[in-house]
Structure 1
């Protein structure tokens, strides 16, 4: 596995068992995890379950020479990215690894964007949050003012502050941010 990965310039870290991996694991890691169903110590499916308990975001690709359909179904239901039976073609595995790494990258970007939006939401006052919640539903300032029992000018001021604090350049962008939360 190490030779295959190095042959295409892909960095990799090898662990002699699932237990060794768990001791070294860091939530900051990115990439993907290649597991065999049968491994020394903790088996692949058990390791997958433990990683789920730890909210591990690494996509898991199972490879095995001893798999069967129920085992593959269990792995996929538990969130495995893929399940490959041995023997496999090197290029097939590399293609699936690349797809898993890309998926992990996209997931990390989405989580990062979510964290940014949540941080921006913390900047809003309670009233600004109320105004934002009504603005993103498409309600006009006049309607929002009536619902909140404030003047239309007050709504306009809060709306401007919401746009500024959320760093939204347009209403559709603000709606997208609201959906992330």
Structure 2
């Protein structure tokens, strides 16, 4: 189940900036497993490279429109990037349309600054109830409007944004659950 909030989780690096944002949403989901050993880099990879295909279509439409107004597009940022395994993502790395602004052991802050608005996305992995091997995954988006065009731009984007984040979080949780040892089927060759 996914829960939505309009506040930044208190464990997030973004919490100290909360008052400076014009828009905030945060979607959370829980995951339980006997063998819960999730790394925040796994969540980042799933976020970046395992979204629904229709998101790519929406992003290409957004790029065409944004390009007309001189805004940053994913085409300018992405060059055949593929999931990275066993890599240490660093602050300042550019991953498609996202720049890594900050990171901790259990969180990545991604985003971009543009002339109309600045946005940050927190991918946060929080430990839950240890007795039942539970963890909480949050995707939080925080936006600052730099001018009236930022507000105008974000108005039609907001409903799609919410839908995309919810679907992405569901896919992340589903992928993580499918990768857990107790959910993998073992086949014996006879």
Q: TM-score, normalised by structure 1?
A: 0.29
The answer to which structure, 1 or 2, has the higher relative contact order (CA under 8 A, 6+ apart) is 2
Give the number of the structure whose residues are more often helix, by fraction. 1
Higher Cα radius of gyration: 1
Give the number of the structure whose residues are more often strand, by fraction. 2
Q: TM-score, normalised by structure 2?
A: 0.28
